[in-house]
């Protein structure tokens, strides 16, 4: 019996974002002033330190360890995070993890072509 998909078909039919991180798949919902990214991360996926526009997110499933500025925390289902614009942050999925991220820049990511 196959595993039931976490995200429903209306989400997985959104364009895939062109993401530079192996083990990370994101489906992109585009707004006029923001982008939402429905992300599925394999266990052990590492997002190296970087900075960009402000970002709000919520862990939907699994656990992700994030360092935001100087603070490191583990986030689980239902827990939210906010990364102010220009603050360096990084992450490591401790398990398979699904998150929803909102970026306060409509050009943060592009769809894969």
pLDDT tens, position by position, 67-88: 999 999 999 999 999 999 999 9
State the distance between the two ends of the chain, measured CA to CA, in whole angstroms.
Answer: 32
CA 54/CA 20 separation, integer angstroms: 19
Fold of the 14-103 domain: Jelly Rolls (2.60.120)
Q: Which pLDDT score, from 0 to 100, does residue 110 have? A: 96
Three-class HEC string of 42-70? CCCCEEEEECCCCEEEEEEECCEEEEECC
What is the b/e burial string over 33-70, where b = at least 16 CB atoms within 10 angstroms of the residue's CB? ebbbbbbbbeeebebeeeebbebebebbbbbbebebee
Convert the pLDDT of each residue in 25-44 to its tens digit. Answer: 999 999 999 999 999 999 99
């Amino acid at each position: 019996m196959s595993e039931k998909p976490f995200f429903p078909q209306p989400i997985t039919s959104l364009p895939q974002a062109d993401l530079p991180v192996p083990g990370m798949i994101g489906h992109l919902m585009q707004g006029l002033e923001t982008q939402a990214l429905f992300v599925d991360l394999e266990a052990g996926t590492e997002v190296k330190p970087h900075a960009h526009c402000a970002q709000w997110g919520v862990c939907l499933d699994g656990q992700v360890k994030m360092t935001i500025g100087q603070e490191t925390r583990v986030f689980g289902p239902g827990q939210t995070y906010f990364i102010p614009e220009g603050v360096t942050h990084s992450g490591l999925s401790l398990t398979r993890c699904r998150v929803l991220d909102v970026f306060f820049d409509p050009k943060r990511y592009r769809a894969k072509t």
